Amino acid sequence: MQCRIMSIFRNITEAISDACFIWAQEMHYVIRDEGVLIFFFIVPLAYPLLYSWIYNNETVHEVPVVVVDNSHTSLSRQFIRHCDASPDVKILCYAADLDEAKSLVSRQIAKGIYYIPSEFDIKVNRMEQATISVYVDMSLMLTYKAIYQTAMAVSQQMGAIIQTNVTRPATKREEQISAQPLAVEDVPIFNPAGGYGSFVLPAVLMLIFQQTLVLGIGMSAGTARERNRYHELIPIDRHYQGVLRIVGGKALCYFMIYAIMGAYLTLAIPRLFNFVHIAQWSDLLALMLPYSLSCIFFGMIVSCIVRYRENVMLLMVFVSIPLLFLTGVNWPQSNIPSFWQSISWLFPSTFGVRAFVRLNTMGGTLSDIMLEYRILWGQAIFYFIITSIVYRHQIYISRANALERIEHMGRKLEIGEKIRKRRRRLELPS
Amino acid sequence: MLMKREMQILWKNPIYVFCMVIFPIAVVLFFTTMLDEGQPSSLPVGIVDADNTTTSRGLIRRLDAFQSSHIAANYSTVAEARNAIQRNEIYAFIYIPKGMTEKLIAGRQPKISYYYSQACAMSGSLLMKDLKTVATLGSAGVGMATMQAKGLTSQQMQSLLQPIHIDLHQIANPWSNYNVYLSTVLVPGVLMLFIFLISAYSIGTELKFGRSKEWIRLANGNMFVAILGKFLPHTLIWLAIVFGYEYYIYGVMHFPYEGSAWDIILLSLLHVFASQGFGIFAFGLLPSLRMSMSVCSLWAVLSISMAGSAFPVMGMDAPLQSLSWLFPLRHYFMVYQITVFNGFPLLEAWFHFAALVAFALLPYMVIGKIKNAMQNYVYIP
């Protein structure tokens, strides 16, 4: 009995020491291989900085607009002045007519045209509805919004003044009420400035986490294959015996690196660039654990597909952009076609990003992301099982090949021995 | 000879079939079907109606009738609705306080609030627009009753309610269709990524599989012939893919374009040549398969942001505005939007046009380096 317990104990210690050996070996490979180093360290460190820099300004201000003012009255000039004073639009210049204005737009100097017709002032004073035409270059959504919304806001504001001038209310209060009987307060919540960086960056960060991890693992597996004399993923070695030891040892190595990278991506970058960050650390930790595990095992499965180290780049890099769309930060999640929704279930990033956005940007708690949290754990377990199966298969292949080689060598030896014996026999009589 | 050899290489290695045909087609289909709606419709919106009168219900019904908004649920308190947003059930909610109708009739200017999440910018701004319209209509409804009592004609009422009307002309994309926005830049961006990678990959693998000397020998040591012969089959395949894509979006999906068909053809040619030029140049600069491919992929992924189609380049910091010139996709986007999308003369885009041509000619600078690499370098894993 004691003996059995001892042997189990010895087995366990041996497994742990093997796993540690594999972990050290893998760590060694990672640090020595510059291709892996790029994806494990340089990209996750530098890319977020670059992206944050690109989106640092968050919103567009002072979009240049050209004005065609045929009215030339104090009212039309008031409109132009108010637009110019708004944060989003800058009145670039006056154009004599629409053709001139259009040529400015075509040369990319202005992004839109405000056209005030000659009867603008007359119509307003006649109590008729006056019109201001807005022509926008639609090639950029954000500039279109800035130009149109500014014109809308200014026209409403001026309209209210015109209205009260006509109706002549008795008191200041009545004036306000007649202009707007029902007050509306719009409250943008979570990312109140509507900044572009604040909404797209959390998704990009989580995506960088997954993609660099998968690329790095794929690269290092490719290298291991190419270094191996027989192009096999798993070397014949005393330490590379059990599936769990190999998978555990390798995963531990990646996990250690990405624990640091993950902290950098989710904690340091939003603080460094002052993007919205209102997550609780405990919830974040709870999310990142299954996310990194599922990414690691996902990466290990992908790494078994690639034969040559560079192929993983061809496979994984282009996926990043569709994956960003599948997370639902750009295009609302409720409007993603169900076919693509189901494909998105394959990737940890879909749920990782959604959960992270809700924790980090929307201040949710773990209970709000329970669905994603559970799916991520499910993915981690599922991918772990698949990884084990795939690795087991790899071990089987490499062992079978090794046995074949040994047999082959044995046969060679045997034949050699026979020849030698025969020679000796021939030599003896003489 | 060289072309025949290259065709065999392309045919034998399945990675080429995947990256040159299957994945690009999948990406085209992905973006066009994903954004097929053009504008997201029926986004789920919540209601917190503490007033619960015919007026408030009327307001809600009117909001529900809008294309973008769809009333998904009722909540009893604001906190509950906020939690629903955090659970991703709704994107926005409208809060109607108690006594809204009463105050409205008494002329005490009640206030309704609309909370919308900006964590997804597109849904936020769309829902915002709907609400603004509903609120204006609601206000107008009340004012109209008073004015009618005062005996104003309907024309007078209209001009009183909205003295200045904004007449919007959305040139070239009147539906503000997002498919037109995103599919015309993202898809070429991803195609560019493939062209970059495959160009670098196909030279690099010559070295890796020890075929480089044979390649140079077949070209009689003339590097110009070697490159041309090697990449002509690639160019033909890429052109087929790009033209297929252009035909699909303009011919089948009927994306709007103001420019002529020649503009589209010219742009497609430049797209392929410039990307191949960049890919070969990247390899020449760093004659190692892994480094050049890393540079290509990082550059291509960055270029999708640097093209400035989502977040405009004019909103970025000044150094980045200049750096954007180094990205072929930026020039592609500028030529596209000036000539094809808006239909302005090509002359207005001459700078970007010239830049694309320059990208296509880049390999000329590194041709000697590639030759040297092919003859003397050995692949180290």
Q: Name the residue among B27, B142, B178 with its Cβ closest to that of A322.
A: B27
Query: What DSSP string describes A101-162?
Result: HHHHHHTTS-SEEEEE-TTHHHHHHTT--EEEEEEEETT-HHHHHHHHHHHHHHHHHHHHHH
A100 assigned to some structural domain: yes
Same domain, B290 and B324: yes
Give the range of the structural domain holding residue A159, as residue numbers without chain letter.
63-179
User: How does pLDDT run across B196-211, given as a tens digit for each residue?
Assistant: 999 999 988 888 888 8
Torsion of CA B126, B127, B129, B133, to 10 degrees: 140
Query: What DSSP string describes A362-415?
Result: T---GGGGHHHHHHHHHHHHHHHHHHHHHHHHHHHHHHHHHHHHHHHHHHHHHH
> What is the pLDDT averaged over residues A408-426?
83
> What is the pLDDT averaged over residues B290-319?
89
Q: Give A188's DSSP letter.
A: E
Same domain, B197 and B214: yes
Same domain, B13 and B79: no
Q: Give all strands of the β-sheet with A183-189 in edge-to-edge order.
A: A183-189, B111-117, B92-96, B43-49, B69-74
Higher pLDDT, B339 or B141: B339
* Nearest residue of chain A to residue B198 (CA atoms): A314
N-to-C CA span, chain B? 30
Quick one: how far is CA B235 from the chain centroid?
Answer: 24
Residue A306 has what pLDDT? Answer: 76
* Nearest residue of chain A to residue B134 (CA atoms): A184
Distance from CA of A128 to the nearest CA of B (A): 5
User: How does pLDDT run across B211-261, given as a tens digit for each residue?
Assistant: 888 888 888 888 888 888 889 999 999 999 999 999 999 999 889 888 889
- The phi-psi region of residue B52 (left if phi > 0; otherwise alpha if psi is between -120 and 50; otherwise beta) is left
- Contacts with A48 from chain B: Cβ below 8 Å: none
> What is the pLDDT averaged over residues A209-218?
93
Task: Mark yes or no for CB contact A309/B306 under 8 Å.
Answer: no
> What is the pLDDT averaged over residues A320-347?
89
Same domain, A73 and A42: no
pLDDT tier, A429 (very low <50, low <70, confident <90, very high otherwise): low
pLDDT at A430 over 60: no
How do strand B92-96 and strand B111-117 relate by DSSP bridges?
Answer: antiparallel
Q: Which of A302-311, B95-104, B259-268, B282-291 has the lowest mean pLDDT?
A: A302-311
Report helix, strand and coil shares of chain B as percent, to nearest 5.
70, 10, 20
- Distances from the Cα of B126 to the Cαs of A362, B54, B165, in angstroms? 19, 26, 21
- Contacts with B139 from chain A: Cβ below 8 Å: 180-182
User: How does pLDDT run across A274-293, given as a tens digit for each residue?
Assistant: 888 888 889 999 999 999 99
Task: Mark yes or no for CB contact A134/B169 under 8 Å.
Answer: yes
Same domain, A357 and A243: yes
| CATH code where residue A140 lies | 3.40.1710.10
Task: Mark yes or no for CB contact B109/A308 under 8 Å.
Answer: no
Same domain, B214 and B122: no
Name the strand (E) or helix (H) holding A16.
helix A2-32
Same domain, A229 and A262: yes
Report helix, strand and coil shares of chain A as percent, to nearest 5.
70, 10, 25
Q: Name the residue among A137, A163, A313 with its Cβ closest to that of B342.
A: A137
Task: Mark yes or no for CB contact B160/A320 under 8 Å.
Answer: no
> What is the pLDDT averaged over residues A221-242?
76
Same domain, B22 and B47: no
A2 assigned to some structural domain: no
Average pLDDT value for chain B? 87
Handedness of CA B362, B366, B371, B375 (dihedral sign): negative
Give the range of the structural domain holding residue B89, as residue numbers without chain letter.
43-161
Cα B380 from Cα B208, distance rounded (Å): 8
Same domain, A175 and A27: no
Which pTM was predicted?
0.90
Bridge partners, residue B352, by sequence: none
Same domain, A148 and A234: no
- Distances from the Cα of A342 to the Cαs of A327, A334, A336, B349, in angstroms? 12, 13, 10, 42
Same domain, A158 and A294: no
> What is the pLDDT averaged over residues A348-356?
93
B342 assigned to some structural domain: yes
Task: Mark yes or no for CB contact A354/B88 under 8 Å.
Answer: yes
B188 assigned to some structural domain: yes
How many domains is chain A built from?
Answer: 2
Q: Which ipTM was obtained for this model? A: 0.89
Task: Mark yes or no for CB contact B194/A311 under 8 Å.
Answer: no
> What is the pLDDT averaged over residues B321-333?
93
> What is the pLDDT averaged over residues B318-341?
92
Neighbours of B3 (CB within 10 A): 14
Closest CA to B375 of B205, B199, B215: B215
How many domains is chain B built from?
Answer: 2
Same domain, B147 and B291: no
Average pLDDT value for chain A? 87
pLDDT tier, B380 (very low <50, low <70, confident <90, very high otherwise): low
Task: Mark yes or no for CB contact B171/A196 under 8 Å.
Answer: no
Same domain, A199 and A310: yes
Interface of A with B in 301-340 (CB under 8 A): 308-311, 313-314, 317-318, 320-322, 325, 328-337, 339-340
Residue A26 has what pLDDT? Answer: 86
Mutate to test the interface with A, among B164, B178, B378 (most CBs of A within 10 A): B164
Same domain, A255 and A354: yes
Residue A350 has what pLDDT? Answer: 92
pLDDT tier, A428 (very low <50, low <70, confident <90, very high otherwise): low
Task: Mark yes or no for CB contact B104/A318 under 8 Å.
Answer: no
Same domain, A69 and A210: no
Residue A1 has what pLDDT? Answer: 61
